[in-house]
Structure 1
Amino acid sequence: MVERVSVYRAPTAAADADRIARWLDERGEWAVDVRGRFLDDASDELARGFARARVRSPYDRETGSEMLGVVRYEERALENPERAGGVIYDGLRVQDALRERLPRGERSPEHAHVILLDRVLGTWGEHDGRWHKRVSVLGWPALVSVPGLYEAPAKPEAYYREQGRRALLSGDPPPREVLENEVEGEFLIEDDPRTTEALAGYVLGAVHYLETGEAFCDDERCRLSNPHRQEGVVRAQLREPEFCPRHAERYG
């Protein structure tokens, strides 16, 4: 059983760790505390860990590069999070690198560590031989990607049709911001004011996995589900009911 949950802040104001912790505190018997950004006080070895976790290509299973320029980029990204972007990281390798940084006295299954990250995480799909962006990587520590909330679940079909149409006309894909403002549909965008509320469900899902071993709920209306499309995220995380009947008994 999980007795304590530590939630680590992200550098973005869109993700309010204190609000998430208060919401989480109301849904279990565990004690919840909020801590500073996990990637503060970074070491050279952590920069190398991120460099080794970098996804090279959507269809290349091998990851990482320890070229000096790549490691220097990761050092700068750790010091200045706002400069990071455009890179996907192997979520499992990042998880391994961060696990080594957990306080030695807090390395037990009863203490859940949920780290809000400013990096885009992915996992390799054996079924189709490609990387897939993820909002969360379950386990210990659990990782929840703030940019993954906007990028991992697929947007409405109209978004991709308009993206292709504009690319044909101009020769280049249009800026994401243009499409987000012009395409109708339900989806979350960068710095969305609904970010904190949506992420709370993913944080609970990470703790639920450590408690029960259940990765995701099959009911797409439940906050413990794992929607693959943005419309599903909005429905599961931002609409009533919060939980399916089974999980409402536990967390409702």
Structure 2
Amino acid sequence: MVDEIALHRAPTTIADAAEIADWLKPRVDATVSVRDRFLEVHRSDELPERFAEARVVSPYDRDTGNTMLGTIRYEERALENPDREGGVLYDGQRVQRALNSALPPEERGLETLHAAILDRAIGTWGAHDGRWHKRVNVLGQPALVSVPGLYEAPAKPEAYYREKQRHSLLSGDAPPREVLENRVEGEFLVENDPRTTDALKGYVLQAYDFLETGNAFCDREVCRLFNAHHHEDLIAAQLREPEFCAEHARRYDPS
């Protein structure tokens, strides 16, 4: 039984942890607290090397890790100055184990769920197709919620990738959000999207539900607990009414 959800900020992102906490409070049978950045509060001397070990080196290589001195130094700098981190995909389960070991022993149990909002991209290995897949969250203790994953993990409409490639060939950089939104049919979230906080609420609740029930996700697309693989499904699940399917409404609908 989860008694407390400790929600850790990611101050380098647009995600508003306090707003997520306020949304959770009437929906869960636990106290909800907002804490500072996990990688600041629970930093240990081993974390730079653990992050280096968790680096995905190739989309199709199950083995991870680059522990050369320069890489470890990069991870040290990224912990000190998170604004400088980016463009790296990490094995989410390795990162989860590293962060669990960084918790105080008395907070590693399941009574206090640590939900760490991260400014890093995380993934899991797909044994079914032999490649890494970016994820929005990794459930467990602590639960990882990746803000870059919200934008990058679910598939966007095919026209999005064509327009992005076309713009890059012509200008050499990524197109602004407004260009993509005006030229591509379909709905999707992009970096610093103003809907980020709203969309993340359900992903944090998924972490709580997993520890409470043992169930990983809901299979109904009209539910905040649905694990969307496409942006249009993500928007339908997280940003449209109803918030929950009938089963999960009985558990989480505060009305």
Give me the TM-score of the superposition, normalised by structure 1: 0.94
| Mapped contact 1:180–1:189 kept (Cα < 8 A) | no
Query: Which residue is equivalent to 1:33?
Result: 33
Asked if 1:23 is matched to 2:23, the reply is: yes
Asked if 1:151 is matched to 2:152, the reply is: yes
How far the C-alpha of 1:189 sits from its partner, in A, is 1.1
Query: Which residue is equivalent to 1:126?
Result: 127
| Mapped contact 1:132–1:152 kept (Cα < 8 A) | yes
3-state DSSP class of the match of 1:243?
coil
Q: Which amino acid in the other structure matches residue 78 of structure 2?
A: A
3-state DSSP class of the match of 2:202?
helix
Q: How does 1:198-213 map to 2 (within 5 A)?
A: 198-213=199-214
Query: Which residue is equivalent to 1:9?
Result: 9
Question: Structure 2: any 5+ residue segments left out of the alignment?
Answer: none
Q: Distance in 2 between matches of 1:234 and 1:173?
A: 30
| Mapped contact 2:167–2:174 kept (Cα < 8 A) | no
Query: Which residue is equivalent to 1:244?
Result: 245
Deviations along 1:201-243, whole A, 9 cap, x unmatched? 0000010000001101000110000110111111110000000
Q: How does 1:217-232 map to 2 (within 5 A)?
A: 217-232=218-233
Query: Which residue is equivalent to 2:176?
Result: 177
Query: Which residue is equivalent to 2:96?
Result: 95
Query: Which residue is equivalent to 1:193?
Result: 194
| Aligned residues: CA RMSD | 1.7
| Mapped contact 2:27–2:252 kept (Cα < 8 A) | yes
3-state DSSP class of the match of 2:176?
helix
How far the C-alpha of 1:29 sits from its partner, in A, is 1.5
3-state DSSP class of the match of 2:194?
coil
Q: Distance in 2 between matches of 1:157 and 1:105?
A: 47
| Mapped contact 2:167–2:175 kept (Cα < 8 A) | no
How far the C-alpha of 1:2 sits from its partner, in A, is 1.1
Query: Which residue is equivalent to 1:58?
Result: 59
| Mapped contact 1:53–1:64 kept (Cα < 8 A) | yes
Q: 1:216 to 1:12 in 2, by over 3 A?
A: same
How far the C-alpha of 1:163 sits from its partner, in A, is 3.7
Q: Distance in 2 between matches of 1:173 and 1:122?
A: 27
Q: Which amino acid in the other structure matches residue 198 of structure 1?
A: A
Q: 1:25 to 1:230 in 2, by over 3 A?
A: same
Question: Structure 1: any 5+ residue segments left out of the alignment?
Answer: none
Q: Distance in 2 between matches of 1:176 and 1:227?
A: 25
How far the C-alpha of 1:249 sits from its partner, in A, is 0.4
Report how many residues are paired.
250
Q: 1:91 to 1:176 in 2, by over 3 A?
A: farther
Q: Which amino acid in the other structure matches residue 215 of structure 1?
A: A
| Mapped contact 2:136–2:153 kept (Cα < 8 A) | yes
| Mapped contact 1:44–1:75 kept (Cα < 8 A) | no
| Mapped contact 2:148–2:191 kept (Cα < 8 A) | yes
How far the C-alpha of 1:173 sits from its partner, in A, is 7.3
How far the C-alpha of 1:183 sits from its partner, in A, is 2.6
Q: Which amino acid in the other structure matches residue 240 of structure 2?
A: R
